[in-house]
Chains A and B, each alone.
Chain A
Amino acid sequence: MFRLLKKNIKVGRATVRYEPGISKAPEGFLGAPEIDPEKCTGCGLCVKACPTDALIIKDDKAQDKRTFFLSYGDCIFCGFCESACPYQAISFKGKFELAAKSKEDLTFFFPFNFNQCEKDPAFVGQDALPFKRNPDFSQNFSKSDFAEKLSLDEIGSKLKVKIKSLLGRSLHIREVDAGSCNGCEIEAVNLSNPIYDAERFGIHFVASPRHADLLLVTGPVTRQMELALVKTYAATADPKWVVACGSCAINGGIFQTSYAVVGGVDRSVPVDIYIPGCPPRPEAILYGIFLALGKIDSSNCGENQLEKSGVCKRI
């Protein structure tokens, strides 16, 4: 007992302060890719290197247009684009507070002049690029195989606003793994460790969806987990929030094209908040949860310096 106390005193307080928008990630953390529009020529080499649909190029020769899309919702933060860029236009500066209320808020587009791009020695035409889908921002849960099991309560969504103000200081979360690789689980578990200690914010993980206000869903939703996810959603009392945590949960991430995957949580149940990251670090999950609770000014969310300068536009 004495040794136990001694160790506790020796270690002292381990918890790290977290203030949304102010706290920085520890040194070394890669974070999200950021594009310097002054250096970017729209050549397309990064699109070729990108293993998911995070970077997309759509050419329109007739209109002399080339549009370059960057979507944090599809990014797995591997860093291949940074190595591929011949102009050092892509950099990772440890940005992690990426959560947003819609997939549009996670996507940025950069317009280019096609003819000018073509002059670039590094130019890659759209035909030489791997096939990538068009950006898709819809929530398709009504087309799910189990759509009839969803009871979408209109009153519930109105109540949410009220509940937010009443229960903003106590939130019960049920974590649902809908087929993730367990990376997101590692970080969700870490939320309860002494370093991140989510309980200090009144956030508590519960054992049953019946006790929960919020579902934290990870994974691309596999075909074999879809029913379980829909049933868990149905078992959660209204009003409720759903947070899609991690790249897979937003659009299916790297598993998007698999036969065994539905491809994103919002194809099965309605989603309120999307948290990009592969996996999102614990603070990034906290940021997303705060955003769901309305503790963070939503006009700030997904804020990007590029957008401020008017070079790129959010869709």
Chain B
Amino acid sequence: MERMVEILKKKFGDCIGKSSDAIPRQLHIQITKDVVVKISRFLVESLEMRFLFLFASDDRKESHCFHLRYVFSIHHLDQFIVLCAPVREEDVTFPSLTPFLPRANWQEREVQDLFGLVAQGHPDPRGLILHEDWPKDIYPFRKDFVQSGKIPRQKGEYIFEKVEGEGVFEIPVGPVHAGIIEPGHFRFSVAGESILKLEIRHFYTHKGTEKLGEGKNPNQLLCLAERISGDNSVSHAAAAAQALETLCGIQIPKRAQCLRVVLLELERIYNHMADIAGVVLDVAFGFGSAQLARSRERAMRLNERLTGSRLLRGMIVFGGVRNDLLDLDMKFLISEIREMKADFDEVIQILWNVSSFMDRVQSTGMIKKEIVETLGGTGPVARASGVDRDLRRDHPYAIYHELLFMVPVFTEGDVESRIKVKMQEVYESFKLIHEAIQGMPEGNTCVAEVATLKPMRSALGYVESPRGECFHWIATDQKGKIARWKIQSPSFSNWPLIEYAVLENIVPDFPVINKSMNLSYSGNDR
């Protein structure tokens, strides 16, 4: 990694400042803001790195400036690079990456809304996170934002992009939907049945979670992390816990690592079962959806039996796992997953032979590989479009590096291949739980001495959640309190893809496409 810093210094000279590799596999490099685009272009094009996400923090108290951080990964080296560019209070502009890297689009708009920094050269600078009734000059993520009483609502209107022409009309859907799902707005422009354009307008469930986490103690932060997206409770909590542990340099006991794998895979199983059940329900195949909903309930009851919570909440704590699994529970878990696998297998076999089901899912909601790569898609959605990427394998955490598993990849990119990826992953998860239990050593499930957070540190935690790559970045202030918590949820990366997935499809297929991607609104809006 030292060589890389040298290469950068040679090429960009004084624009490259201090670098720090205090945290293993996470290299921090200070840069100046005006070369952000040049360096990013160099990293992505010449060094074949992947841009993950960017975010801001308000450090005006310590260093009189805001900081923008750009996170890149080198997947064949298991290494993350964090570029850190200061933005002074007097000049709050920064050059926009979006024209070069379209996946930075929402992220830069988020920085604009929450911090009041201005992305110069952004092709679409409309408001994103805060809706139009939010006052223009109030930026909630700045440290000097104090909420006293209600924030007044102001008048304003969101302008949707228009498609014009003969026979083109708009269908507004949401935020309150017809089914039992979360709120969000979809604006379809259609000609007849087929969709010409879809614009999504989300962030109805924005709860300011990242801001709420500031100043919290580690376990309270994890409680909050579990409630970012209910069905990804373990993933978010594990990613946040990892960030905190990396930040303090804590190595959690091996038994806790094994238990975390078991919990993460249990979560994947019940999520994927629900997703497949949802698609089957949306194509009106009652038998399949009832059977899969039953399997899913069985998985949730297993969660309940093992942890006391149907969503596996309250298990991940700072420094390990709260409750150990007893031998009795382990035996029950092993016998239960064996039966669940046989049961799931039977239903899937039947499903794959029903032509009315296959007709609806094949070649529906195609997403091309190039679109996924350009917009930074992740998880099963990316893997169904031929993007072979999985954090568990590429940047292993917990004990994934010791486990043998396959990462299913399909190339068609339609609803069918997304279901196939999820189906295969369920089988792999069954296997992984088995392996993790078999290799589980005796010992503690939590570090004996729970350390306090170290001051002025920051670290990245990451987990491959059922929906894809989930990153948490946590920084502490001078007193060792949490000063900034950034959540990069897989839904935030994947939502823009749906605008492309539905093109040239018919409106009645939208629910099927939406369900096959199964993105979280709450995880996206935070």
The reply to whether B205 and A222 contact each other, CB–CB distance below 8 Å, is: yes
Task: Please report which residues of chain A, range 193-236, place their CB below 8 angstroms from some CB of chain B when the two chains form the complex.
Answer: 193-195, 205, 207-209, 219-220, 222-225, 228, 232
How far apart are A48's CB and chain B's nearest CB, in angstroms? 10
Q: With a CB–CB cut-off of 8 A, which chain A residues contact B204?
A: 179, 222, 224-225, 228
The reply to whether B294 and A183 contact each other, CB–CB distance below 8 Å, is: no
B205-222 to A contact mask, C-beta < 8 Å, 1/0: 111110110001001100
Q: Is A260 an interface residue (CB 8 A)?
A: yes
Known: A179-B204, A222-B205. A30 touches B230 (CB 8 A): no
Q: With a CB–CB cut-off of 8 A, which chain A residues contact B296?
A: 193
The reply to whether B291 and A219 contact each other, CB–CB distance below 8 Å, is: no
Q: With a CB–CB cut-off of 8 A, which chain B residues contact A3?
A: 349-350, 353
Closest residue on chain B to residue A94 by CB atoms: B308
Q: Is B239 an interface residue (CB 8 A)?
A: no
Interface magnitude class on chain A:
35 or more
Known: A27-B305, A225-B175, A281-B310. A255 touches B209 (CB 8 A): yes
* Best-buried of B145, B179, B293 by chain A (most CB within 10 Å): B293
Q: Is A120 an interface residue (CB 8 A)?
A: no
Task: Please report which residues of chain B, range 194-250, place their CB below 8 angstroms from some CB of chain A when the two chains form the complex.
Answer: 203-209, 211-212, 216, 219-220, 223-224, 227-231, 233
Which stretch in A72-80, A108-116, A299-307 binds the other chain?
A: A72-80
Known: A51-B220, A193-B293, A208-B178. A261 touches B207 (CB 8 A): yes
The reply to whether B205 and A193 contact each other, CB–CB distance below 8 Å, is: no
Main secondary structure of the interface of A (DSSP, over half): loop
Assembly CA distance A258 to B208 (angstroms): 6
The reply to whether A193 and B294 contact each other, CB–CB distance below 8 Å, is: yes
A235-257 to B contact mask, C-beta < 8 Å, 1/0: 00000000000000000011101
The reply to whether A225 and B183 contact each other, CB–CB distance below 8 Å, is: yes
Which stretch in A7-15, A35-43, A287-295 binds the other chain?
A: A7-15
Q: With a CB–CB cut-off of 8 A, which chain B residues contact A209?
A: 176
Q: Is B304 an interface residue (CB 8 A)?
A: yes
Q: With a CB–CB cut-off of 8 A, which chain A residues contact B130?
A: 224
Main secondary structure of the interface of B (DSSP, over half): loop
Assembly CA distance A80 to B318 (angstroms): 13
The reply to whether B207 and A258 contact each other, CB–CB distance below 8 Å, is: yes
The reply to whether A224 and B227 contact each other, CB–CB distance below 8 Å, is: no
Assembly CA distance A183 to B178 (angstroms): 18
How far apart are A145's CB and chain B's nearest CB, in angstroms? 6
Known: A4-B350, A175-B180, A279-B311. A183 touches B290 (CB 8 A): no
The reply to whether A254 and B183 contact each other, CB–CB distance below 8 Å, is: no
Pick from A14, A78, A177, A223: contact of B182, CB below 8 A. Answer: A177
Which stretch in B117-125, B146-154, B377-385, B403-411 binds the other chain?
A: B146-154
Q: With a CB–CB cut-off of 8 A, which chain B residues contact A281?
A: 310
Interface magnitude class on chain B:
35 or more
Q: Is A106 an interface residue (CB 8 A)?
A: no
Q: Is B313 an interface residue (CB 8 A)?
A: yes
A91-125 to B contact mask, C-beta < 8 Å, 1/0: 01000000000000000000000000000000000
Q: With a CB–CB cut-off of 8 A, which chain A residues contact B50?
A: none
The reply to whether B182 and A29 contact each other, CB–CB distance below 8 Å, is: no
Closest residue on chain A to residue B223 by CB atoms: A51
Known: A26-B301, A177-B181, A258-B212. A194 touches B223 (CB 8 A): no
How far apart are A239's CB and chain B's nearest CB, in angstroms? 20
Assembly CA distance A281 to B274 (angstroms): 17
Q: Is B346 an interface residue (CB 8 A)?
A: yes
Known: A79-B314, A258-B209. A185 touches B131 (CB 8 A): no
The reply to whether A260 and B230 contact each other, CB–CB distance below 8 Å, is: no
How far apart are A186's CB and chain B's nearest CB, in angstroms? 6
Assembly CA distance A3 to B349 (angstroms): 10
The reply to whether B223 and A185 contact each other, CB–CB distance below 8 Å, is: no
Q: With a CB–CB cut-off of 8 A, which chain A residues contact B305?
A: 26-28
Closest residue on chain B to residue A208 by CB atoms: B178
* Best-buried of B223, B227, B228 by chain A (most CB within 10 Å): B227
B163-182 to A contact mask, C-beta < 8 Å, 1/0: 00000000000011011111
Known: A29-B304, A185-B230. A78 touches B314 (CB 8 A): yes
Q: Is B140 an interface residue (CB 8 A)?
A: yes
How far apart are A258's CB and chain B's nearest CB, in angstroms? 4
Q: Is B309 an interface residue (CB 8 A)?
A: yes
Known: A180-B230, A225-B175. A76 touches B150 (CB 8 A): no
Known: A175-B180, A179-B207, A259-B151. A186 touches B297 (CB 8 A): no
Q: Is B100 an interface residue (CB 8 A)?
A: no
Task: Please report which residues of chain A, range 142-179, place their CB below 8 angstroms from some CB of chain B when the two chains form the complex.
Answer: 145, 175-179
The reply to whether A254 and B223 contact each other, CB–CB distance below 8 Å, is: yes
Q: Is A298 an interface residue (CB 8 A)?
A: no
Q: Is B283 an interface residue (CB 8 A)?
A: no
Q: Is B42 an interface residue (CB 8 A)?
A: no
Assembly CA distance A185 to B229 (angstroms): 11
Assembly CA distance A185 to B291 (angstroms): 20
Q: With a CB–CB cut-off of 8 A, which chain B residues contact A175?
A: 180
B343-382 to A contact mask, C-beta < 8 Å, 1/0: 0001101100100000000000000000000000000000
Assembly CA distance A207 to B405 (angstroms): 42
Q: Is A269 an interface residue (CB 8 A)?
A: no
Known: A194-B293, A224-B131. A183 touches B180 (CB 8 A): no
The reply to whether A182 and B229 contact each other, CB–CB distance below 8 Å, is: yes
How far apart are A158's CB and chain B's nearest CB, in angstroms? 28
The reply to whether B230 and A190 contact each other, CB–CB distance below 8 Å, is: no
Q: Is A311 an interface residue (CB 8 A)?
A: no
Known: A7-B350, A179-B205, A258-B207. A207 touches B230 (CB 8 A): no
Closest residue on chain A to residue B346 by CB atoms: A7
How far apart are A53's CB and chain B's nearest CB, in angstroms? 13
* Best-buried of B145, B209, B349 by chain A (most CB within 10 Å): B209
How far apart are B124's CB and chain A's nearest CB, in angstroms? 20
Pick from A194, A223, A259: contact of B294, CB below 8 A. Answer: A194
Q: With a CB–CB cut-off of 8 A, which chain B residues contact A278?
A: 227, 313
How far apart are B427's CB and chain A's nearest CB, in angstroms? 19
- New contact pairs (20) apart from A193-B290, A193-B296, CB-CB < 8 Å: A11-B291, A28-B308, A51-B220, A51-B224, A76-B223, A78-B223, A78-B313, A145-B150, A177-B205, A179-B204, A183-B227, A183-B311, A190-B297, A205-B180, A222-B205, A223-B206, A228-B175, A254-B224, A255-B227, A281-B310
Q: List 8 A-B contacts (CB under 8 A).
A: A3-B350, A29-B304, A29-B310, A195-B293, A209-B176, A223-B151, A255-B227, A259-B145
Going nearest first, the 6 A-B pairs with the smallest beta carbon separation are: A183-B230, A30-B308, A207-B178, A193-B293, A28-B305, A260-B208
Chain A residues with a Cβ under 8 A of chain B: 3-4, 7-8, 11, 14, 26-30, 51, 76-80, 83, 92, 145, 175-190, 192-195, 205, 207-209, 219-220, 222-225, 228, 232, 253-255, 257-261, 278-279, 281
